[in-house]
């Protein structure tokens, strides 16, 4: 749980000066043509080339325009006090650069946090102008692990930020984290309103959600709607309604998302039944994003880096690699369970996690590993600092396909974050423990993957009998 993690971190943090595949070719019984399919379409309504706006927004990916905005998105690491200067040469994000200047008057704030031990959704006033919301967690089990900022400006600009860092000084100062950020303009009067989702030809009722519509789904799931209404009630009572957003559904209609090339990948805690719900969550949402960008490939090799390592069955790692390849989950569900359980771990999967020696050699040593939970070798490219980033790098070697893709967000490489798929091809079920959120971007070159990945590539393999994974409970 997040509160427990922060409590452990507070106890163990050092004093520092103040400056976050299974792919069998076995015969599969043919299903009726009316069987729902999650993969009937391979295009996305949320990506480039869809805008008719007359306004020209200059710049390119990871590049500021003349006004200092990222109209085409950016992925950067966070600034860190302990990096090696000669290695830390690329642009970074500081929280003070992401947030509005402190001298500007603050507006209304909605803070989404972990619910109480009973897991019930809550909304209440925390401070004047602040409303705290918590989503529901069945039985109180799981974690609200989403890291997300939506910053609305009086000019109409919206800045969306998905960091891997928690909102505590340690995460933005002492350990390495990553940030995806993009500025979104208001939709101009000459920009057509977005078209409704395109229904799948073979899956009635399943549409192709845009980035903004998927974001609306996430905000509703996080219980932001009632919190927004609480602000509106207060402002109507005071006779001064200043909220830039009166209803969550206004997001896709009032702002111009046509320059967003990233794909939003959420995990919503709970049990999701049926393709219409399963396709929006966890590693199946990742699969859909990969297919939509044209990157489905059996040749993909993935490297998963995060701050927590779970317990992996061979069935689950093959389930995940199937999604990472962009393979329809129907094929996975059609494979007999006994065959799934006997399959070895896929050799195209690598987990990047620090060894005990890596933690000991880091600038803060073992006390600095308070937010790192049993992971495998992972070395930052910027010096002897531990990484709290969460990334998955997928590289392809197939002609006619993109060179690869990169995931950045809150998902650690665990079943709790990415979910477990079960059920049948007719009635799939996805069980997810945590709330998570991230984005997937298409790479323009394999070299871009090297540039954006936060770890040294190729990662040094573990040496059997010599290297021991860092395990906080044993090594602190």
Count how many Cα atoms sit within 13 Å of the Cα of residue 268 in the half-sphere of its side chain.
22
> pLDDT, tens digit, for every residue of 289-302?
999 999 999 999 99
Sign of the torsion angle spanned by Cα atoms 423, 315, 280, 20: positive
Task: Name the domain count of the chain.
Answer: 1
Averaged confidence pLDDT in the chain: 80
Element (H, E) at 404: strand 404-409
Query: Is the per-residue pLDDT at 67 higher than 60?
Result: yes
pTM reported for the whole predicted model: 0.80
CB 135 within 8 A of CB 115: yes
Query: Is the per-residue pLDDT at 153 higher than 50?
Result: yes
pLDDT, position 29: 32
pLDDT, position 49: 37
Taking residues 413-434, report their average pLDDT. Answer: 96
Residues 6+ apart with CB under 8 A from 117: 140
Residue 11 vs residue 401, higher pLDDT = 401
Q: How far is CA 340 from the centre of its chain?
A: 27
Residues 6+ apart with CB under 8 A from 453: 303, 305, 381, 391, 393, 406
pLDDT, position 86: 67
CA 54/CA 261 separation, integer angstroms? 19
Which of these, 9, 290, 286, 289, lies nearest to 165 by C-alpha position? 9
Token pair, residue 171, equals 């995460």
Token pair, residue 72, equals 């085409």
pLDDT, position 101: 82
pLDDT, position 381: 52
Structural domain contains residue 213: yes
Taking residues 415-444, report their average pLDDT. Answer: 96
Taking residues 27-40, report their average pLDDT. Answer: 45
CA 336/CA 26 separation, integer angstroms? 10
Give the torsion through C-alpha atoms of 159, 442, 419, 143, to 10 deg.
-30
Query: Is the per-residue pLDDT at 122 higher than 80?
Result: yes
Going by the DSSP 8-state scheme, the letter that residue 45 receives in this structure is S
Taking residues 258-277, report their average pLDDT. Answer: 97
Structural domain contains residue 21: no
CB atoms closer than 10 angstroms to residue 341: 11
Which of these, 441, 436, 361, lies nearest to 76 by C-alpha position? 441
Structural domain contains residue 194: yes
Residue 371 vs residue 76, higher pLDDT = 76
pLDDT, position 385: 56
Rounded to 5 degrees, what are φ and ψ at 317?
-65, -35
CA 73/CA 52 separation, integer angstroms? 19
Structural domain contains residue 151: yes
Alpha helices by DSSP H, listed for 152-257, are 169-173, 211-221, 224-238, 250-254
pLDDT, position 383: 56
pLDDT band at residue 203 under the 50/70/90 scheme = very low
Token pair, residue 173, equals 């100062």
Structural domain contains residue 20: no
> pLDDT, tens digit, for every residue of 80-108?
887 777 677 789 999 999 998 877 777 89
Does residue 34 sit in helix, strand or coil?
Answer: coil
Rounded to 5 degrees, what are φ and ψ at 263?
-115, 130
Residues 6+ apart with CB under 8 A from 85: none
pLDDT band at residue 174 under the 50/70/90 scheme = confident
Structural domain contains residue 458: yes
Q: How far is CA 217 from the centre of its chain?
A: 14
pLDDT, position 455: 67
Max mean pLDDT range (378-382, 385-389, 472-476): 385-389
Secondary structure tally for the chain: helices H, strands E: 15, 16
Tell me the percentage of the chain whose pLDDT exceeds 90.
52
Does residue 350 sit in helix, strand or coil?
Answer: strand
Rounded to 5 degrees, what are φ and ψ at 96?
-65, -20
CB 436 within 8 A of CB 410: yes
pLDDT, position 22: 32
CB 345 within 8 A of CB 313: no
Structural domain contains residue 28: no
Tokens 């993969």 identify what position? 39
Token pair, residue 265, equals 């990948």
Max mean pLDDT range (18-27, 150-159, 172-181): 150-159
Residue 196 vs residue 154, higher pLDDT = 154
Range of the domain at 83: 2-14+35-475
CA distance readout (Å), 442 to 61, 98, 131, 280: 11, 23, 36, 19
Residue 311 vs residue 65, higher pLDDT = 65
Does residue 455 sit in helix, strand or coil?
Answer: strand
Structural domain contains residue 19: no
Strands 130-134, 109-112: pairing kind? parallel
Max mean pLDDT range (23-32, 344-353, 393-402): 393-402
pLDDT, position 192: 64
* 3-state class percentages of the chain: helix first, strand second, coil last, to nearest 5: 25, 20, 55
CB 305 within 8 A of CB 378: yes
Which CATH number does the domain housing residue 307 bear? 3.30.870.10
């Amino acid at each position: 749980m997040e509160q427990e993690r922060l409590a452990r971190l507070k106890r163990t943090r050092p004093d520092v000066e103040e400056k976050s595949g299974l792919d069998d070719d076995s015969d599969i019984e043919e299903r009726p043509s009316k069987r729902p399919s999650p993969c009937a379409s391979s295009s996305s309504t949320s990506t480039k080339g869809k805008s008719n706006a007359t306004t020209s927004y200059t710049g390119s990916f990871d590049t500021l325009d003349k006004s200092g905005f990222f109209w085409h998105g950016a992925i950067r690491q966070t600034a860190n006090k302990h990096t090696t200067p000669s290695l830390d040469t690329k642009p970074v994000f500081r929280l003070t650069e992401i947030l509005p200047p402190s001298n500007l008057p603050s507006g209304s704030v909605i803070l989404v946090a972990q619910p109480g031990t009973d897991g019930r959704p809550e909304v209440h006033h925390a401070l004047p102008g602040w409303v705290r919301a918590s989503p529901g967690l069945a039985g109180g089990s799981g974690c609200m692990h989403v890291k997300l900022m939506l910053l609305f400006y009086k000019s109409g600009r919206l800045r969306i930020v998905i960091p891997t860092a928690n909102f505590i000084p340690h995460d933005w100062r002492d350990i390495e984290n990553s940030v995806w950020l993009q500025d979104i303009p208001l939709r101009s009067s000459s920009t057509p309103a977005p078209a409704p989702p395109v229904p799948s030809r073979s899956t009635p009722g399943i549409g192709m959600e845009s980035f903004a519509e998927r974001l609306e789904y996430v905000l509703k799931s996080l219980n932001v709607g009632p919190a927004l209404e609480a602000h509106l009630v207060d402002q109507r009572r005071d006779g001064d309604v200043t909220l830039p957003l009166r209803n969550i559904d206004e997001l896709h209609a009032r702002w111009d998302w046509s320059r967003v090339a990233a794909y939003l990948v959420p995990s919503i805690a709970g049990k999701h039944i049926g393709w219409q719900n399963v396709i929006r969550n966890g590693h199946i949402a990742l699969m859909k994003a990969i297919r939509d960008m044209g990157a489905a490939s059996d040749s993909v090799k993935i490297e998963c880096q995060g701050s927590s390592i779970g317990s992996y069955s061979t069935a689950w790692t093959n389930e995940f690699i199937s999604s990472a390849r962009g393979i329809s989950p129907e094929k996975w569900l059609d494979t007999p369970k006994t065959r799934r359980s006997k399959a070895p771990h896929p050799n195209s999967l690598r987990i990047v996690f620090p060894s005990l020696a890596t933690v000991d050699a880091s600038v803060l040593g073992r006390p600095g590993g308070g937010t790192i939970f049993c992971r495998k070798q992972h070395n930052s490219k910027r010096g002897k600092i531990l990484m709290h980033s969460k990334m998955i790098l997928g590289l392809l070697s197939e002609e006619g396909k993109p060179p690869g893709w990169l995931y950045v967000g809150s998902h650690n490489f665990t079943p709790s974050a990415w979910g477990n798929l079960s059920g049948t091809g007719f009635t799939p079920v996805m069980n997810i423990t945590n709330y998570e959120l991230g984005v997937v971007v298409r790479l323009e070159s394999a070299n871009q993957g090297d540039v954006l990945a936060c770890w040294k590539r190729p990662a040094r393999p573990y040496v059997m009998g010599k290297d021991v994974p860092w395990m906080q409970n044993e090594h602190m």
